[in-house]
Amino acid sequence: MRNFSPDSLMLAIETSCDETAVAVFQAPDRVLGHALASQVAVHRRFGGVVPEVASRCHLEAIDGLLQKALADAGVTLADIGAVAVTRGPGLIGAVLVGVSYAKALAWGLKVPLVGVNHLEAHVAAAFLYRPDLQFPFLAMVVSGGHTSLYRVDEGLVFAELGRTIDDAAGEALDKGAKLLGLPYPGGPEIERLAARGRADAIAFPRAWLDQRLDFSFSGLKTALRVYLEKHAWGTEQLPDIAASYQEAVVDALSAKAMWAVARENLSTLVVVGGVAANQRLKAAMEERARPIGCEVVVPPPPLCTDNAAMVAAAGMRMMQAGRESGLELDAAARLPVGGGHS
């Protein structure tokens, strides 16, 4: 086994959902090469991601992407000093393709292997945008499937502070948009309409949950359905309804993020995931953060969507903290953040 030195290059692989991606990475945060293949067009005709099709697409794409990423970086496999791979959570067959490929590479090259949690990788993407980001910080992952708050300490060590007890914030926006007759994904549609509406037009509920750091959005969705049943509405009312609905989501997210910042005595908040693209959310976070001297870091959308550079950013920090995996590394469909390294 070759030793990993801080200037060794890392190869990173992501296959947990419908994007196959390979990165060549140099510490601390340099992406030397990156290659990505999206399966979105393949799955679209089925109306959603088909797991078996995803696994096959990953298998077909991965060799070519590895060659492309190496060529992009101007290096060969002999230059690689470590391999990082997403080990979960995700579609099990899809994750297995990446994990098996990474294990074979690490074994063949005789270099260390590190298994990365996909959600932790999403948070680590913030280092690619802000290389000077300091631990500890608060991280909010807010997407179509997740709404969680984590305290992140030195070595990329996660502790969950809160999560949604029902719908994710993106899911709430998507379901709300559907009730309003808007296309999927609903988040951007709601944001677009909300820009022309009054956020205080309708008093939709916020689930404060006794000041806990957990979230709940299912009551909000019901409140919208009831409102639409009881009132006459049409295209003219849409901007006000969208703005008020979006504000209820934004309010809960930004208030609880700031409670967490205060309770944990932190001064940086990192927001990642698809909903982080929402400009009203960013503005609300900044409004609340400014008076308490907290900085809000929101990486740009290309770093928030699935890629392999974020896997490398996480894997590099885990390696440096001595958290490498053995060749017995396994893929996992479900994987808790914080407790899931082997």
Residues in the site for Zn ion, rule: CB under 5 A? Answer: 306
Based on the shown chain and the rule CB under 6 A, indicate whether residue 123 belongs to the binding site for ligand KG4.
Answer: no
Q: Which strands sit side by side in the sheet containing 147-153, from one edge to the other?
A: 157-163, 147-153, 137-142, 268-272, 295-297
- Distance of alpha carbon 15 from alpha carbon 67, whole angstroms: 16
**Out of 278, 316, 317, 319, which residue is the one contacting ligand KG4 (CB under 6 A)?**
278
**Out of 88, 89, 115, 187, which residue is the one contacting ligand KG4 (CB under 6 A)?**
187
- Distance of alpha carbon 224 from alpha carbon 237, whole angstroms: 13
CB of 285 vs ligand KG4, minimal distance in Å? 13
Based on the shown chain and the rule CB under 6 A, indicate whether residue 305 belongs to the binding site for ligand KG4.
Answer: yes
CB of 122 vs Zn ion, minimal distance in Å? 6
Q: Which among ligand KG4, Zn ion, none contacts residue 145 (Cβ within 5 to 8 A by kind)?
A: ligand KG4
Q: Which is nearer to Zn ion, 8 or 164 (CB)?
A: 164
**Out of 8, 16, 20, 143, which residue is the one contacting ligand KG4 (CB under 6 A)?**
143
SS3 sequence of 1-29: CCCCCCCCEEEEEECCCCEEEEEEEECCC
Based on the shown chain and the rule CB under 6 A, indicate whether residue 239 belongs to the binding site for ligand KG4.
Answer: no
Residue 3 · residue 324 · CB < 8 Å: no
Based on the shown chain and the rule CB under 6 A, indicate whether residue 340 belongs to the binding site for ligand KG4.
Answer: no
Identity at 325, one-letter amino acid code = S
Number of residues that bind ligand KG4 (CB under 6 A): 17
CB of 254 vs ligand KG4, minimal distance in Å? 13
Based on the shown chain and the rule CB under 6 A, indicate whether residue 136 belongs to the binding site for ligand KG4.
Answer: no
Interacting stretch for ligand KG4, rule CB under 6 A, among 151-159, 187-195, 197-205, 330-338? 187-195
- Distance of alpha carbon 310 from alpha carbon 307, whole angstroms: 6
- Distance of alpha carbon 91 from alpha carbon 341, whole angstroms: 18
Query: Tokens representing 133?
Result: 């980001």
Task: Give the orientation angle of helix 218-230 with respect to helix 238-263, to 10 degrees.
Answer: 160
How deeply is 45 buried, as exposed, middle or buried, from its count of CB atoms within 10 A (0-12, 13-18, 19+)?
Answer: exposed
Chain centroid to Cα 35, Å, comes to 19
Based on the shown chain and the rule CB under 6 A, indicate whether residue 274 belongs to the binding site for ligand KG4.
Answer: yes
**Out of 42, 59, 163, 188, which residue is the one contacting ligand KG4 (CB under 6 A)?**
188
Based on the shown chain and the rule CB under 6 A, indicate whether residue 164 belongs to the binding site for ligand KG4.
Answer: no
Q: Which among ligand KG4, Zn ion, none contacts residue 186 (Cβ within 5 to 8 A by kind)?
A: ligand KG4
DSSP symbols for 260-291: HHHHTT--EEEEESGGGG-HHHHHHHHHHHGG
CB of 184 vs ligand KG4, minimal distance in Å? 8
Sites of contact with ligand KG4 (CB under 6 A): 143-145, 170, 173-174, 185-188, 191, 273-275, 277-278, 305
